[in-house]
Amino acid sequence: MAGLQSLFFFIIAIAILVAFHEFGHFWVARKTGVKVIRFSIGFGKVLFSRQKSRHDTEFVIAAIPVGGYVKMVDEREGDVSSEDLPYAFNRQPLLTRSAIVAAGPLANLLLAVILFWLILVLGETGIRPVIGKIEPGTLAAQAGFVERDEIISINQKPTPTWAVAFDELLSQALNGRHDLVVTVKTLDGDQQMRVLLLADADIQNPDTLHQRLGLKPWTPLIPPVIGKLVEHDVAEQAGLKSGDLIISADGIAIHDWQQWVNYVQGKPGANINLQIQRDGVQLPLQIVPRQETMESGQIVGKIGAGVSVAQNLIDDLKVDYAYSMVDALPLAFEKTGFYALATLKMMGNMFIGEASVKNLSGPISIAQYAGQSAEMGFTAFLRFLALVSISLGVLNLLPVPMLDGGHLLFYVVEAIKGSAVSDTVQLYFQKLGMLFLLFLMLIAMFMDLGRLFS
């Protein structure tokens, strides 16, 4: 059932993203006088088609919903009637062709702005940015942060939730800020300033900055009470039930949920003798955690049980916030710019070997994220759409033949040399581009399958 839900929302997400991308090409083509023959969402067999007359654009929904295209009048793709020659794409000025090609990726970035704006206006429920244990040697320790500090603002920008606070930290770091002035509210209610001093290496490596900062959410001590159980997993098969309180494991008293998680993870495949409390009665129980290999290669124990958290703990940490329509607009542009720059830097780091290809996600992972975000709620799904739309926009602007950025690269060469790049040269580089993209897709699929089977 979860697989079908993921597939459904994956198709919805791809349809929206492709429609926006292709509409960018279509809208600019029409505005610049280029005749569009077909606007298609999907490939393959036509499921739905609408066309006012044979002279107008045919709008199509096809059977394979993993892409789309805009087919324009173009002499390179077939015979063109004499009456349509002035409207052919290949006969347009260089600037017009460039605008049409660039419009697709830019439409994806614009969609991200719209989605972030909508999220900010609708508002979200987030976690208050209360800081947890500070590890020695981190930037947070050097700046004097103390456990239970609550981040109020960063360089005078309000940070109502952890997500906003961390986005702001990374955004300002990526923009080259070496000093981040963080206003915090202490446990006593006083406001104080802490200054995070970043080195050049921190700014150039956003994927490792998180560890260097050493800022993580504060977690209250949660009683070790079993919550939701994964069907047919170890905990359910061993006889654990929702509401059970873990008293001890192998004679060791268990005081909080994190202690219990750490104990289970350290016992993969080993028998654990439990003492639990159920309905006021203490009972013995045995459980053997299954072995699971993490991405780091470490083998840990898992039992398939979540925690039951008291509602008052949740209420103390959560916060609702929203922005006005006017205030949300610049923030939406900022968020889009931040994630676009972060995506570009991550791609660059992977290309030069400074970031792992494990960061790549293929269709399986994206489908899973689509289903999970939809299950979390409307705004979570909108955020997922915005992030994937940014990735799609940035990827398509890369100067790789077969992508929109590759066409733009040919146009730059044309502008420099004064004549178009020959069809033979374009075809050669397009084949190379196709091989590169296929190689990238195979790696992403391999990473997906590795995550799926682990």
| Catalytic (active-site) positions | 22
Q: Which strand (E) or helix (H) includes residue 210? A: helix 206-213
Buried b (16+ CB within 10 A) or exposed e, 228-252: ebeeeebbbebebeeebbbeebeee
Contact 289, 234 (CB under 8 A): yes
Residue with tokens 């915090």: 184
Contact 46, 60 (CB under 8 A): yes
Going 151 to 154 to 160 to 161, the CA torsion angle's sign is negative
DSSP structure class, residue 34:
P
Return contacts of 165-171, CB within 8 angstroms, 24+ apart.
165/129, 166/215, 167/335, 167/338, 169/196, 169/213, 169/215, 170/206, 170/209, 170/338, 170/342, 171/334, 171/335, 171/338
Measured CA distances, 433 to 118, 141, 348, 399 (Å): 36, 47, 17, 9
Q: Which of 103, 113, 111 shows the shortest CA–CA distance to 72?
A: 103
Residues paired with residue 281 on neighbouring β-strands, in sequence order: 278
Q: Whole-angstrom Cα distance, residue 29 to residue 75?
A: 16
Q: What share of the chain is helix, strand, coil (3-state, %, to 5)?
A: 50, 20, 30
Contact 353, 360 (CB under 8 A): no
Contact 357, 443 (CB under 8 A): yes
* Strand pairing category for 281-287 and 290-293: unpaired
Q: Per this entry, what is the length of the chain?
A: 454
**Residue 129 burial by CB count (10 A; 0-12/13-18/19+): exposed, middle or buried?**
buried
Q: What is the CA radius of gyration of the chain?
A: 27
